[in-house]
C-alpha cells in the first residue's frame, strides 16, 4: 500500500457516485414498473432524513479511519447525546443552546477518552472504543428503561422537520459539517497530518508530526459528530432514546458507509465526500426497497452483499493499479 | 487495519510462542480468590464443573476467534452464525429425535462453509476481514429472520439438547461432569496440538508478517482461509452447546463476537496477529465468565455489568500495552 499519495481524496470519489447514479436510475425504473414513484416529495425527504443521521456519524468516522484508527463507541455516544439533549432542554425553548453546548462537551469528553486510550495507553482502537462503548452502555442500561426528557419544541420544529423545498434542514447541517471536514482535511495542516499518520505513523512521526495530538483531535471531532447526530435524532424523536444508537446499528453502518465511500480501512487514503456518497447509496437502497415493500430482513441481506461487493470492487481496482 | 505493515524486526519469526499467558493466569487467580471469599460453595467440584460446562461455548468461540486473529484478521460474524445455527437447527429438527445427528453434521458443514466464504472473500477478493465478516453478519441475521418469518419455528429434540444440558452423573470426586465440559476439553487439547503442529507455526508466521511468510513459500491465503473455517466450526459447536443449554432464540448469539474478541485480547493475543497463545485466549474467555459470576455474587446490577466489563478490559489491555512498550 503506497503510504503517501499526494491527492488522497480525489482518486476514489467517483466510484461511489457512479454506483449511486446507477442505483438510483435502476431503482427509479424498477419502482416505476412496479407502479410507484421513487422521487416524489415524501420519499425524497425521508431518504435525506435517513442520510442526515447516518451521514453526521459517518463523516466523523471518516476522520478517525483516515488516521488509521476507528470508533466503535459512536452508537452509545449517539444514545447518550439524545438523552443529554432532551433532559437538559426538558421541553423549554430557552435551554436549546445550553443543551447543545452540553452535548458537544460530553461527546468531546468521550472522544478525548477514546483518543487518549489509543495514543497514550496504546490500546488497540478496536478494543479501546469497544471498551468505552461498554462503559457507556452500562450507564445507559442502568439509568434508563425507555425514552426520557423532552426536546424543545422549537428545535423539533427547526432541525427535526423544517425543510427548504425537499431538503430537510438536517441534511443542510450534514452538508455544512461535510464541507467543514473537507476543508479541514484538504486545506489545513491538521488534515494533511492526519492522512500522513494514517498512511504510515512511523514516517509521519519522523517527519515531525505529533501523531498523538492529531489522532486525539480526530477522535474528539468524531465523537462530536456523533453528538450532533444525537441532537438531530432527539429533535426527530422529541425525546431522549437510550437505545436509538445501537438499534440503528450506527457503529457498524457508519464504518460501512466510510468504506463504501472509498476510504481505506487501514487509513491514509480517502475522504469525506466519498463517505457522503456511501451514505446516500445506503439510504437510496433503503428508499428503493421501501417503495417496493421488500421485506426488511431481505433488505439487510442485500445490504450485507452490497457492502462486501463494493469493497471487493475497490480492492480489485487497487490491485490493478498496483500491477 | 491489517495490511502489509513492515512491523519491527522480522527476525522475531523463530520465536513462535512468546507466552503471555502469565498475566491472565494472575487475573484469573485473583478473581478465583475473590469468588472464594464471597461464595466458598462456588469452588466445590460440583458447581465448578457446571460453571466450566456453562462457559464452554464462549471458550470455544474464543479459541476459534484466536485462529483468525493470530493470522492477522477478524471474525465479526460468529455471533450471528451462532444465532443462525440455533434457529436453523430448531426448524430442521422440528422436535424429531431421529433428525438429531444429520442436523448436527449439517450445522458443522454450514459453519465450515460460512468460514470458507469469509476466508475466500477476505483473501482472494482482498476485502478487509472487518468488512467481510460485518457483511456476513448482516447477511446471516437478515437471512435467518427472513427464513423464519420473524419468529423461531420448530423445536430442538431432547437428543440434541443433551449436549448442552446433560452430564455424566456420579463421577467420583468431581460429582457431575457436563457433556459440554468434555467437548471443551477434547477440543481445547486439539487446539493446543494444532498450534504446536506445522500449521500452527505457519498461522502465527502469517499473522506476524504475511510478506515474509509468502516469500518463504507459505500460501498465506490458504492458511488464513483455514483459520476462518476453524472459527466457523467453533461457532457451530458453540451453537450446538448453547442451543442445548439455553434453547432457541434470535438472541442466542447476540454480542458473542465482541465477547470472543475481548476474551482473546484479554488472553494476551495481539490484534493484528502474530503474537499470543491459544491457551491464553481460552483462559481469557474463562476469566470473562468468572468476572460475570463474581459480579452476580457481589450483587452488581445486570445493567452495570457492561460498565465493569468495559473498565476491566481497558485496564487490562492498557496495563499490558504500556508494559510491553516500555520494555
Confidence of residue B323 (pLDDT cuts 50, 70, 90): low
Q: Considering only alpha carbons, which residue of chain B is nearest residue A118?
A: B318
- The average confidence (pLDDT) of chain A is 90
**Is residue A295 in a domain?**
yes
Chain A environment of B304 (Cβ under 8 Å): 138, 141-142
Chain A environment of B317 (Cβ under 8 Å): 123-124, 127-128, 131
**Is residue A114 in a domain?**
yes
Confidence of residue B4 (pLDDT cuts 50, 70, 90): very low
| Nearest chain A CA: its distance from B230 CA (Å) | 21
- The average confidence (pLDDT) of chain B is 87
Chain B environment of A123 (Cβ under 8 Å): 314, 317-318, 321
Confidence of residue B15 (pLDDT cuts 50, 70, 90): very low
**How far is A140 from A243, CA to CA, in rounded Å?**
8
| Nearest chain B CA: its distance from A123 CA (Å) | 6
- Cβ separation B304–A142 shorter than 8 A: yes
* DSSP-derived secondary structure letter, A158: I
Selected for mutation to probe chain B from A297, A299, A314, A323 (highest B CB count within 10 Å) is A297
- Cβ separation A266–B272 shorter than 8 A: no
Low-confidence ranges of chain A (pLDDT < 50): 1-10, 12
Q: Which residue has the higher pLDDT, A183 or B19?
A: A183
| A305: contact with B, CB 8 A cutoff | yes
Find residue B178's DSSP bridge partners: B167
**How far is B127 from B105, CA to CA, in rounded Å?**
30
Q: Which three cell numbers stand for residue A116?
A: 487518549
Q: Which three cell numbers stand for residue B81?
A: 452464525
CATH number, domain at A63? 1.10.3470
Q: What is the pLDDT of residues B117-156, one digit of tens each?
A: 999 999 999 899 999 999 999 999 999 988 888 788 888 8
**How far is A318 from B8, CA to CA, in rounded Å?**
26
> Smallest Cα–Cα separation from A151: which of A102, A204, A92?
A92
Q: What is the mean pLDDT of residues B69-75?
A: 94
Q: What is the mean pLDDT of residues B254-260?
A: 88
| A203: contact with B, CB 8 A cutoff | no
**Is residue A75 in a domain?**
yes
Helices (H), A144-271: 153-155, 169-187, 189-199, 201-206, 211-237, 244-247, 250-260
pLDDT at residue B172 is higher than 70: yes
Q: Which three cell numbers stand for residue A21?
A: 447514479
**How far is A253 from A167, CA to CA, in rounded Å?**
23
Q: Give, for A17, the enclosing helix (H) or strand (E).
A: helix A13-33
Q: What is the pLDDT of residue A51?
A: 95
Cβ-Cβ contacts under 8 Å for B141 (sequence gap 6 or more): A297, A300, B80, B83, B84
Q: What is the pLDDT of residue B7?
A: 45
**How far is A196 from A205, CA to CA, in rounded Å?**
9
**How far is A61 from A274, CA to CA, in rounded Å?**
12
Using a 10 angstrom Cβ sphere, with 0-12 exposed, 13-18 middle and 19 or more buried, the burial of residue B149 is: exposed
Q: What is the pLDDT of residue B325?
A: 54
Angle at B89 between CA B86 and CA B94, to 5 degrees: 130
A203 to each of A62, A187, B8, B113, how far by Cα in Å? Answer: 21, 21, 14, 41
* DSSP-derived secondary structure letter, B169: E
Q: What is the pLDDT of residues B195-230, one digit of tens each?
A: 999 999 999 999 999 999 999 999 999 999 999 999
A293 to each of A3, A297, A299, B251, how far by Cα in Å? Answer: 45, 11, 10, 26
- Indicate the number of domains in chain A: 1
Q: Give, for B254, the enclosing helix (H) or strand (E).
A: none
| Nearest chain A CA: its distance from B313 CA (Å) | 6
| A220: contact with B, CB 8 A cutoff | no
Residue B250, SS3? coil
Domain boundaries, chain B: 17-326
Q: Which domain holds residue A205?
A: 13-26+38-322
> Smallest Cα–Cα separation from B253: which of B80, B6, B54?
B80
What ipTM score was computed for the predicted complex, to two decimals?
A: 0.83
pLDDT at residue B47 is higher than 80: yes
The rounded percent of chain B whose pLDDT value lies above 90 is 50
| Nearest chain B CA: its distance from A237 CA (Å) | 24
Confidence of residue B107 (pLDDT cuts 50, 70, 90): very high
Q: Which residue has the higher pLDDT, B246 or B109?
A: B109
**Is residue A226 in a domain?**
yes
Q: Which three cell numbers stand for residue A151?
A: 426536546
Angle at A208 between CA A203 and CA A213, to 5 degrees: 95
Is B17-326 a domain of CATH 1.20.80?
A: no
Buried b (16+ CB within 10 A) or exposed e, B25-57: eebbeebbeebeeeeeebeeeeebbbbbbbbbb
| Nearest chain B CA: its distance from A166 CA (Å) | 31
Amino acid at each position: 500500500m503506497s503510504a503517501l499519495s499526494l491527492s488522497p481524496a480525489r482518486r476514489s470519489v467517483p466510484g461511489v457516485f457512479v454506483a449511486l447514479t446507477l442505483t438510483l436510475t435502476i431503482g427509479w425504473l424498477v419502482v416505476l414498473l412496479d407502479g410507484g414513484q421513487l422521487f416524489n416529495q415524501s420519499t425524497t425527504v425521508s431518504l435525506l432524513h435517513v442520510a442526515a443521521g447516518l451521514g453526521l456519524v459517518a463523516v466523523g468516522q471518516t476522520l478517525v479511519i483516515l488516521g488509521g484508527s476507528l470508533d466503535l463507541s459512536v452508537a452509545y455516544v449517539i444514545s447518550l447525546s439524545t438523552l443529554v439533549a432532551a433532559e437538559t432542554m426538558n421541553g423549554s425553548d430557552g435551554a436549546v443552546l445550553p443543551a447543545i453546548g452540553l452535548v458537544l462537551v460530553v461527546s468531546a469528553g468521550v472522544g478525548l477518552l477514546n483518543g487518549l486510550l489509543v495514543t497514550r495507553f496504546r490500546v488497540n482502537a478496536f478494543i479501546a472504543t469497544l471498551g468505552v462503548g461498554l462503559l457507556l452502555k452500562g450507564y445507559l442500561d442502568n439509568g434508563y428503561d425507555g425514552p426520557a426528557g423532552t426536546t424543545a419544541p422549537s428545535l423539533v420544529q427547526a432541525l427535526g422537520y423544517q425543510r427548504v423545498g425537499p431538503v430537510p434542514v438536517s441534511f443542510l447541517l450534514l452538508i455544512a459539517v461535510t464541507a467543514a471536514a473537507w476543508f479541514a482535511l484538504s486545506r489545513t495542516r491538521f488534515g494533511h497530518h492526519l492522512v500522513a499518520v494514517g498512511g504510515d505513523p512511523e514516517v509521519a512521526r519522523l517527519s515531525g508530526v505529533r501523531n498523538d495530538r492529531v489522532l486525539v483531535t480526530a477522535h474528539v471531532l468524531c465523537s462530536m459528530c456523533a453528538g450532533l447526530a444525537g441532537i438531530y435524532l432527539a429533535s426527530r424523536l422529541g425525546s431522549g432514546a437510550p437505545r436509538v444508537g445501537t438499534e440503528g446499528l450506527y457503529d457498524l453502518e457508519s464504518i460501512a458507509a466510510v468504506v463504501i465511500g472509498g476510504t481505506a480501512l487501514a487509513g491514509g487514503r480517502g475522504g469525506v465526500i466519498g463517505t457522503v456518497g456511501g451514505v446516500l447509496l445506503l439510504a437510496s437502497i433503503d428508499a428503493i426497497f421501501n417503495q417496493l415493500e421488500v421485506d426488511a430482513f431481505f433488505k439487510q441481506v442485500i445490504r450485507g452483499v452490497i457492502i462486501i461487493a463494493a469493497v471487493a470492487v475497490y480492492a480489485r481496482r487497487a490491485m490493478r493499479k498496483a500491477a | 487495519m491489517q495490511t502489509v505493515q513492515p512491523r519491527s524486526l522480522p527476525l522475531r519469526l523463530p520465536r513462535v510462542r512468546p507466552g503471555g499467558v502469565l498475566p491472565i493466569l494472575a487475573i484469573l487467580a485473583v478473581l478465583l480468590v475473590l469468588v472464594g471469599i464471597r461464595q466458598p460453595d462456588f469452588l466445590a467440584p460440583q458447581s465448578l464443573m457446571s460453571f466450566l460446562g456453562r462457559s464452554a461455548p464462549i471458550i470455544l468461540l474464543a479459541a476459534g476467534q484466536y485462529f483468525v486473529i493470530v493470522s492477522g484478521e477478524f471474525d465479526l460474524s460468529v455471533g450471528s452464525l451462532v444465532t443462525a445455527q440455533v434457529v436453523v437447527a430448531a426448524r430442521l429438527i422440528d422436535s424429531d429425535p431421529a433428525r438429531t445427528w444429520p442436523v448436527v453434521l449439517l450445522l458443522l458443514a454450514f459453519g465450515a462453509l460460512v468460514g470458507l466464504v469469509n476466508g475466500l472473500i477476505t483473501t482472494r477478493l482482498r476485502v478487509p476481514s472487518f468488512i467481510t465478516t460485518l457483511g456476513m453478519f448482516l447477511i446471516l441475521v437478515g437471512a435467518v429472520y427472513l427464513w423464519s418469518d420473524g419468529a423461531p419455528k420448530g423445536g430442538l429434540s431432547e437428543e440434541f439438547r443433551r449436549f448442552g444440558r446433560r452430564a455424566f452423573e456420579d463421577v467420583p470426586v468431581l460429582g457431575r461432569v457436563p457433556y459440554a465440559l468434555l467437548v471443551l476439553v477434547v477440543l481445547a487439547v486439539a487446539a493446543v496440538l494444532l498450534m504446536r503442529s506445522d500449521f500452527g507455526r505457519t498461522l502465527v508466521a502469517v499473522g506476524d508478517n504475511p510478506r515474509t511468510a509468502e516469500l518463504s513459500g507459505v500460501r498465506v491465503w490458504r492458511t488464513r482461509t483455514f483459520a476462518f473455517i476453524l472459527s466457523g466450526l467453533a461457532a457451530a459447536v458453540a451453537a450446538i452447546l448453547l442451543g442445548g443449554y439455553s434453547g432457541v432464540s434470535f438472541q442466542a448469539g447476540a454480542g458473542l463476537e465482541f465477547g470472543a474478541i475481548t476474551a482473546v485480547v484479554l488472553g494476551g493475543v495481539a490484534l493484528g496477529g502474530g503474537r499470543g497463545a491459544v491457551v491464553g485466549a481460552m483462559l481469557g474467555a474463562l476469566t470473562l465468565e468468572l468476572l460475570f459470576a463474581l459480579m452476580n455474587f457481589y450483587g452488581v446490577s445486570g445493567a452495570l455489568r457492561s460498565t465493569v466489563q468495559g473498565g476491566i478490559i481497558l485496564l487490562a489491555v492498557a496495563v499490558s500495552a504500556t508494559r510491553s512498550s516500555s520494555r
